[in-house]
Amino acid sequence: MYRIAGTLLREGGVEGRLSWLLRARHLVRGDESMSELKRHWKRVMDFPGIVRQPEDAKLGALVDAGARVLVEQQTEFQRVLLLETPKREIILLLDSEMQFYSADEHRYHEALAIVPFLFRQGAVRRVGVMGGGDGLIARELLRHFADEIELIRIIDIDAAVTELARTHPRLVELNRGSLLDERVEVVNADALSYRSEQPFDLILGDLPDPTSPVLGRLYNREFYEHLRAQLTPDEGILAVQIVFVPPLFDGVLNTLRSVFPTVKEYAVWMYSFVRSGFALCGQGPLERCREVPKGTRHLTSEVLDMLFYFAPDEPRVEVDEVSTNENGRVVEWYGSFLRDYAEERILYY
């Protein structure tokens, strides 16, 4: 879930990344000209390919900025870091990539968990969550739809992450103990191969970005066909997150449209990730039939309308291809962002 911020901060090493952050702040304050920022950005982008900064250097930069390490753990699948900022906000990183920042994660999780409910005609009894091992999607579902939901099944490959979310005091505080609720069932399995014996009324995809061919399979047509087969016929809805960068966002949307008759895209602005994109996928027409529940922190009826609005000058591109297991196009789409669009993107925002 680390979106654009994590992508940008991988470039240029710790010093370069921190310098970029300082320059970006100066630009906001009007202390630095656009031409100077462009020159600096060109220097950063001169590094070949995607430069993955060693984790110890990235961790050192965060600690230097005042962060405190709460958890540092190597699991069977990934490196887990849970950090606390000087303001007692927490950050979860998996393999050095940010998964959430507690100051604004509610915007992302409200958009992914609540919006699909507003378009579901029938009752939502069974919800499947692909990923979401931190319990934050489950928190939103239980907070707003507890009277309706009978089962939330979280399919997350890493048992160490779900156990951390179930037991660490700071995570339990943030997810409101959602993984301890009797309606929440955690299955530590690979979403690519997991198949539910009973269909879900709603499936939510909160999965890693397609930074490798293995992770890219979570964005290919075959996987979306696999998920559709687990939905309630006709009325079941799928909602997934997609990194809002060209051409990845539009390429994944096109791939989803090869599987679902109706796909609606939306996106939410965030402080930590700039903008997170989503797709709402239906087996028939999708029309809003519910009101935004009370008690949300960010989502309102007015905000909901804004989520589905994309201005004419947004960084959108036309993509005709579909990503499959055979062509793995989604990984190319992700990589081409850094190669072709990164400077335009940061200057756009």
d(Cα 172, Cα 181) in Å, to the nearest integer? 12
54 alpha-carbon distance from chain centroid: 23
Residue 336 lies in a domain: no
Task: Based on the fold, state whether residues 232 and 281 are members of the same structural domain.
Answer: yes
Q: Of 206, 250, 313, 320, which one is the catalytic site residue? A: 206
Helix axes 329-336, 248-257, angle to 10 degrees: 160
Task: Based on the fold, state whether residues 115 and 146 are members of the same structural domain.
Answer: yes
Burial of 349 (0-12, 13-18, 19+ CB in 10 A): exposed
Q: What is the pLDDT of residue 35?
A: 46
Any idea what DSSP says for residue 232? P
Q: What is the pLDDT of residue 104?
A: 94
Task: Residue 126: give the domain boundaries.
Answer: 105-331
Q: What is the pLDDT of residue 342?
A: 53
Task: Based on the fold, state whether residues 86 and 132 are members of the same structural domain.
Answer: no
Say which residues have a Cβ less than 8 Å from residue 31's Cβ, sequence separation at least 6.
Answer: none
Residue 287 lies in a domain: yes
Intervals of the chain under pLDDT 70: 1-59, 338-349
Residue 208 lies in a domain: yes
Burial of 288 (0-12, 13-18, 19+ CB in 10 A): middle
Beta bridge partners of 73: 80
Number of domains in the chain: 2
Residue 240 lies in a domain: yes
The answer to whether the bond into 213 is cis (omega within 30° of 0) is: no
335's enclosing H/E stretch is helix 329-336
CA distance to 11, 40, 109, 271, per residue, from 19 (Å)? 11, 9, 30, 18
Residue 76 lies in a domain: yes
Three-class SS of residue 322? coil
Task: Based on the fold, state whether residues 227 and 93 are members of the same structural domain.
Answer: no
Q: What is the pLDDT of residue 96?
A: 79
Residue 280 lies in a domain: yes
d(Cα 336, Cα 273) in Å, to the nearest integer? 19
d(Cα 41, Cα 60) in Å, to the nearest integer? 23
**CATH number, domain containing residue 264:** 3.40.50.150
Residue 51 token pair: 């430069």
Residue 82 token pair: 């849970």
Q: What is the pLDDT of residue 185?
A: 98
Task: Based on the fold, state whether residues 206 and 280 are members of the same structural domain.
Answer: yes
Task: Based on the fold, state whether residues 152 and 292 are members of the same structural domain.
Answer: yes
Q: What is the pLDDT of residue 338?
A: 64
Task: Based on the fold, state whether residues 158 and 244 are members of the same structural domain.
Answer: yes
- Among the listed residues 197, 196, 287, the one whose alpha carbon sits nearest the alpha carbon of residue 235: 287
Task: Based on the fold, state whether residues 190 and 299 are members of the same structural domain.
Answer: yes
Task: Based on the fold, state whether residues 97 and 120 are members of the same structural domain.
Answer: no
Residue 74 lies in a domain: yes
In which residue are the tokens 């190597």 written? 74
Burial of 194 (0-12, 13-18, 19+ CB in 10 A): middle
Residue 71 lies in a domain: yes
Task: Based on the fold, state whether residues 177 and 222 are members of the same structural domain.
Answer: yes
Task: Mark whether 206 is an active-site residue.
Answer: yes
* Amino acid, res. 204: L
d(Cα 315, Cα 216) in Å, to the nearest integer? 22
Q: What is the pLDDT of residue 108?
A: 97
Task: Based on the fold, state whether residues 249 and 307 are members of the same structural domain.
Answer: yes
The answer to whether the CB of 135 falls within 8 A of the CB of 171 is: yes
Task: Based on the fold, state whether residues 95 and 133 are members of the same structural domain.
Answer: no
Q: What is the pLDDT of residue 60?
A: 73
